[in-house]
Amino acid sequence: MIAPLPFQLVVISAECHSLELRVLPQLFELGLAVFHVRKPAWSRAETEAYLQAIPSQYHGRLVLHAHYELALRYPVKGVHLTEKARQHSTIGQLLRQLPGRSVSASFHSLAAVARHRRRYDYVFLSPIFDSLSKVGYGSGFDLAEVAAFLPRLAARPGY
């Protein structure tokens, strides 16, 4: 018997590996709790075809990074708001149509998290470490600062 996976979350790269749709159900079977569908270059139709290729029993573990209106048609876990989406005037209206779904976002500074007032179930901070693959893409965070900030963030509703 294979032991359950030791992680709860995966964010996949923008590229789609040829085996991704075959491996993903296996990861869910092994205990993967949440999979972020991050395909920024894809059209709505491509994203919908991807969702249709994933067995429906796993849709509740998917979080969409784009084409959020698909969350109205598919019972996905939630949406991950990009910086651009957070600034869009209709995002609040969409979120009101998705009660009970998770809402997450990415930030590149602790100050940006502190300034932002929307309630999120969780946020990503990046880059925490210097990138190995992107030259000059260094960490924007001091880990001691992050550790001191997290308890304050945890006290805010929605975090």
What domains, with CATH codes, occur in the chain?
9-154 (3.20.20.70)
Residue type, 22: R
Q: Where are the alpha helices (DSSP H) in the chain?
A: 20-29, 44-53, 83-87, 91-96, 110-115, 143-154
Find where tokens 């993967």 sit.
Answer: 32
- The SS3 call for residue 137 is coil
Which residues, at least 6 apart from 145, have a Cβ–Cβ distance to it below 8 Å? Answer: 110
pLDDT tens-place string over residues 111-141: 998 888 788 888 888 888 887 777 888 888 8
pTM of the complete model: 0.87
CB of 110 within 8 A of CB of 143?
A: no
pLDDT at res. 2: 65
Once rounded to an integer, what is the mean pLDDT over residues 66-88?
A: 95
Residue type, 134: K
